[in-house]
Amino acid sequence: MTPRVGAMLLRNTVVSSFVFLLGLVLLWMMVQWAGMNAVLAAAISFLIANGCHYALGRTWIFRGTERGLRTGYMLFLINAGVGMAITVALFAALLAFTGIHYLVARVIVSVFAGLAMFVLNAVLNFRQV
């Protein structure tokens, strides 16, 4: 962990917190207002929030990346697929095997998925670590 990586992790935490709150609001709206299945709503809200994360990640977290926009976005989508798989699998498991409220379960899952996605994007996509 260098100061530069620490600064990227800090910026990532700010962006991730913002888009995570956006995702939670979307999840809540889809489940409470639209009556959608919580696991499906978690996947959809994850994709929407992560689209915002890419834009902010490219311009602020990993600024100065030499990765092309198209290639970077494709790699980001692959990484987001890994994050979504972690999110949906752990979320579904928590809902199935515990009595945890769906929003609390989503918060717990976000720690694991968020760290995995930061590492994948920092190392493989934006090549900053």
Confidence of residue 125 (pLDDT cuts 50, 70, 90): confident
pTM (2 d.p.): 0.77
The per-residue pLDDT for 89 is 95
From CA 101, how far away is CA 107, in angstroms rounded?
10
103-117 pLDDT per residue, tens? 999 999 998 888 888
pLDDT at 30 over 90: yes
Average pLDDT over every residue of 36-60: 91
Average pLDDT over every residue of 49-71: 86
Distant-in-sequence, close-in-space partners of 113: CB < 8 Å, separation ≥ 6:
83, 84, 86, 87, 90
pLDDT at 129 over 80: no
